[in-house]
Structure 1
Amino acid sequence: MIGTRNIANSIQANYRYFVLFLVIFYAVGFAGLSVPATRPFFVHLTPFALLLSSFIVGLFHSKFSAKTIFVFIFIYIASFIVELIGVNTGSIFGNYSYGHGLGIKLFNTPLIIGLNWLLLVYVSNSVMELSNWPLMLKIVGAAFLLLGYDVLLEQVAPQLAMWTFSESAVPVQNYLAWFLLALLFSLVINLLKINTKNRIAPVVFGIQALFFAMLLLTLN
């Protein structure tokens, strides 16, 4: 127990170095994706970037109780199933298909997409924990944060070989589904009192949002 506490304290004490590492990591990624010659290589690193970001956020999570792990697994599985149904039927987000940018797929659905949902739901709720808003406003606010994030992401996802919609424009159906799913998962996290107070999670959310905003200006 003492050893675990010492490790946790050491991680917290090195917070600024983790932030610096994330800034450099995403800056290098931005540079690599901005250059056509290096873009294919950096696209293949997308799953690694997601795994690394999730790992760092996990290091700063306060306590992994059995309930917390259960909720995290639920969000991963539930979001993966929703995406699986969505990409194979077109009935949830619209007609779209995944590219190779998110790595290994099962039934046309990247295995890492559930982790992506879990990370985004967690960090958006962590951002809302910085406010003094009432609980329901925090939940709705987290869902709107994810919606805004998705608006950015959808503009660059095709260039990053993540996914592509068959329509020329992203359908409104997609944004509505994103918001409702984010709202549901935020409800689960807050009603079950999963602690998302995390020093580095809002930083990850901000860096990723800035990362995609800069790519939007560069690639389009």
Structure 2
Amino acid sequence: MKQYLTRYKIAIGIAILFHVSGFIGILFTPYAHWFIENTPLNLVLMFGLLIYTQHYRSRRFYLFMLIAFVVGMFSEMIGVHTGKLFGHYHYGDVMGRKLLGVPFLIGINWFVVVFSAGIIMRKINIWLEARYLPEGQQMRPGFKAASFIIDGALLATFFDFIMEPVAIELKFWQWHTPYVPFYNYICWFFISAFLLILFRKLNFNKNNHFAVHLFIIQSLFFIALQIFL
């Protein structure tokens, strides 16, 4: 347990350091271009820290990671080439190497966002049960499942909502319309909901505290950049 807590503290410290440095570097130094170009390094590092802090990395954990990556990549490929998912857009070169027009980091990002949203919703459900239900009682299974999936998908979609203006400004991707289509958020909701159903069904350790903090740190990072850019 002590080793896990140490890993957790190290991961939190690194995540805060990199995001604060990125925020300062992009906004207040003459090296903004360098910080933007190294966005892939930051994303890969956060992905690595998420795995590093995962207690009991079972096969089902890696299976969910793989499914989230593949579903994310495949969905984005459909979007980029047909516009039938998300809308009409294309990726720039900032995000690194691509497969059929979609950066590999986007698939990783789908895993990170949905996994973190799932961890957060699980903790909220546990807290609600402990706080508001009489001892020995639990929420009805159907209500609990619906709440987890719908609220978790809304949370993941909210993250995309706050990320979009910054990503567009920094040339991560560009829309072929003058605004982000609402259809983009509809697709984010339903794809996230599908992945959260799998997250809930697969039996692996879902007590990764770092995932909660990473979601908060990244959300504050994008909100702060949105304010000052």
TM-score, normalising length: structure 2:
0.87
Instruction: Decide which structure has greater helix share.
Output: 2
Report matched runs for 1:176-187 at 5 Å: 176-187=186-197
Q: How many residues align?
A: 212
User: Is contact 2:87-2:181 (8 Å) kept?
Assistant: yes
1:4 aligned partner: none
Counterpart Cα distance in 2 of 1:48 and 1:9: 28
Runs (5+) with no aligned partner, structure 2? 129-143
179, 186, 196: which one aligns with 2:206: 196
Question: C-alpha displacement at 1:35, in angstroms?
Answer: 3.9
Query: Match for 2:25: what amino acid?
Result: G
102, 107, 116: which one aligns with 1:123: 116
Query: Match for 2:222: what amino acid?
Result: F
1:15 maps onto 2:8 in alignment: yes
Counterpart Cα distance in 2 of 1:12 and 1:182: 29
1:101 aligned partner: 94
Counterpart Cα distance in 1 of 2:77 and 2:170: 20
195-204 or 32-41, which deviates more: 32-41
Query: Match for 1:126: what amino acid?
Result: I
122, 145, 153: which one aligns with 2:163: 153
2:78 aligned partner: 85
Q: Secondary structure at the match of 2:209?
A: coil
1:72 aligned partner: 65
158-167 or 116-125, which deviates more: 158-167
Residues 27 and 58 of structure 1, relative CA distance in 2, 3 Å threshold: same
Question: C-alpha displacement at 1:161, in angstroms?
Answer: 1.7
Counterpart Cα distance in 1 of 2:68 and 2:5: 26
User: Is contact 1:43-1:161 (8 Å) kept?
Assistant: no
Question: C-alpha displacement at 1:192, in angstroms?
Answer: 2.0
Question: C-alpha displacement at 1:14, in angstroms?
Answer: 4.5
2:106 aligned partner: 113
The CA RMSD over aligned residues, in Å, is 1.6
